[in-house]
């Protein structure tokens, strides 16, 4: 059992948990994730390790309530326990001194960008961060990102804070200004990662994306997380989750991620009825 030692509400639908998981905290590296199961009948869902504290033996999870399991998780409180946590899973991010790295996070994707940006900064990179959300209320981890970035830019779809528009507009502007950019890493909605990869491709700026296909076992056995990268089939859980954004078939990923929409809505409706 894994105890929730701290709960913080980051925005209406986004919660942060610090969970006691000493063995995972000991091994965790930026870019990796866990798979959790809330109870005996619960489904398995992957969440990124947004931070870890080896001394306290805790890992941080930041999640958005989008369906049954994440809503159920969001209702848990400090002191409650999660039945299973498997991890750390996936390959760690490749952290080295690239020079100047632009870290682009959208929505809840800012959470997985944070440990990578932090590790890149510690490795000696100049870190320019661009974070975005639909509106100011949904923008998360601004102070934390500010702290570990040399430069922070903010974008919101409705203009409530920062640039009125998309994170990709800011990246395009930096490129147009002739800023030296050696690498880009971007995590967020698939469409955002597709657009960001499209911005950098003509300039040949290496762009790493972290893919979020539906996962079940997280160990390369079920094939559920199949993605197409450079015309090859890869399993995001063991071959990724990070890949070269210029090679990813994003349209295929978007299509595969909606395979169970009807069943997911049904599960959520049933869960809401149960809670009434």
Close Cβ partners of 233 (under 8 Å, ≥ 6 residues apart) = 226, 227
Q: Which residues pair with 8 in a beta bridge?
A: 16
Q: Which residues pair with 34 in a beta bridge?
A: 47
Residues in 87-146 that interact with ligand FES by CB under 6 A: none
Nearer to ligand FAD, 180 or 262 (CB): 262
Residue 25: C-alpha distances to residues 103, 235, 263 (Å): 24, 24, 34
d(CA 231, CA 156): 34
- CB-based contact 103:117 (threshold 8 Å): yes
Asked if 45 is part of the footprint of ligand FES (rule: CB under 6 A), the reply reads no
Interface stretch with Mg ion, choices 59-67, 104-112, 192-200, 224-232 (CB under 5 A): 59-67
Look at residues 253, 275, 276 and name the one whose alpha carbon lies nearest to residue 72: 275
Interface stretch with ligand FAD, choices 16-24, 58-66, 153-161, 169-177 (CB under 6 A): 58-66
Among 75, 220, 251, 252, binds ligand FES (CB under 6 A): 220
Q: What is the DSSP letter of 256?
A: H
Nearer to ligand FAD, 238 or 247 (CB): 238
Query: Order of strands across the sheet with 81-82?
Result: 51-53, 58-64, 14-20, 2-11, 81-82
* Placement of tokens 């923008």 in the chain: 139
Among 33, 52, 166, 243, binds ligand FAD (CB under 6 A): 33
> What six digits make up the tokens of 276?
């009434």
Q: Which residue is closest to ligand FAD by CB?
A: 67
> What six digits make up the tokens of 67?
């369906």
Q: Which residues pair with 130 in a beta bridge?
A: 104, 153
The one of ligand FES, ligand FAD, Mg ion, none whose footprint includes residue 217, by CB under 5 to 8 A per kind, is ligand FES
Among 42, 57, 67, 224, binds Mg ion (CB under 5 A): 67
Nearer to ligand FAD, 119 or 205 (CB): 119
Nearer to Mg ion, 45 or 208 (CB): 45
The CB-of-152 to ligand FES minimum distance in angstroms stands at 34
> What six digits make up the tokens of 232?
């090859």
The CB-of-45 to ligand FES minimum distance in angstroms stands at 11
Q: How many residues bind ligand FAD (CB under 6 A)?
A: 25
**Chain residues in the site for ligand FES (CB under 6 A):** 215-218, 220-225, 235, 237
**Chain residues in the site for ligand FAD (CB under 6 A):** 33, 45-48, 62-64, 66-70, 108, 111-112, 212-215, 241, 257, 261, 264, 268
């Amino acid at each position: 059992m894994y105890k929730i030692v701290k709960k913080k509400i980051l925005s209406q639908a986004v919660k942060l948990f610090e969970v006691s998981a000493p063995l995972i905290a000991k091994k965790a590296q930026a870019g990796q994730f866990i798979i959790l199961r809330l109870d005996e009948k619960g489904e398995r869902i992957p969440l990124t390790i947004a931070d870890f504290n080896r001394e306290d033996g805790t890992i941080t999870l930041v999640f958005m309530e989008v369906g049954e399991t994440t809503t159920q998780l969001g209702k848990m409180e400090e002191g409650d326990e999660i039945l299973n946590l498997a991890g750390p899973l996936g390959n760690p991010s490749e952290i080295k001194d690239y020079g100047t790295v632009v870290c682009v996070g959208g929505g809840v994707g800012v959470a997985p960008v944070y440990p990578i940006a932090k590790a890149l900064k510690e490795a000696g990179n100049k870190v320019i961060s661009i974070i975005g959300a639909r509106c100011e209320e949904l923008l998360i981890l601004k102070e934390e990102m500010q702290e570990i970035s040399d430069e922070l830019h903010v974008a919101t779809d409705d203009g409530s804070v920062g640039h009125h528009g998309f994170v990709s507009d800011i990246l395009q502007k930096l490129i147009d200004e002739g800023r030296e950019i050696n690498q880009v890493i971007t995590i967020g909605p698939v469409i955002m990662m597709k657009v960001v990869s499209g911005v950098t491709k003509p300039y040949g700026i290496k762009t790493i994306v972290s893919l979020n296909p539906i996962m079940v076992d997280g160990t390369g056995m079920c094939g559920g997380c199949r993605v197409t990268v450079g015309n090859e089939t890869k399993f995001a859980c063991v071959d990724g989750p990070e890949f070269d954004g210029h090679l990813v078939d994003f349209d295929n990923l978007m299509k595969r991620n909606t395979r169970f929409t009807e069943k997911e809505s049904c599960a959520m409706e049933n869960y809401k009825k149960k809670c009434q």
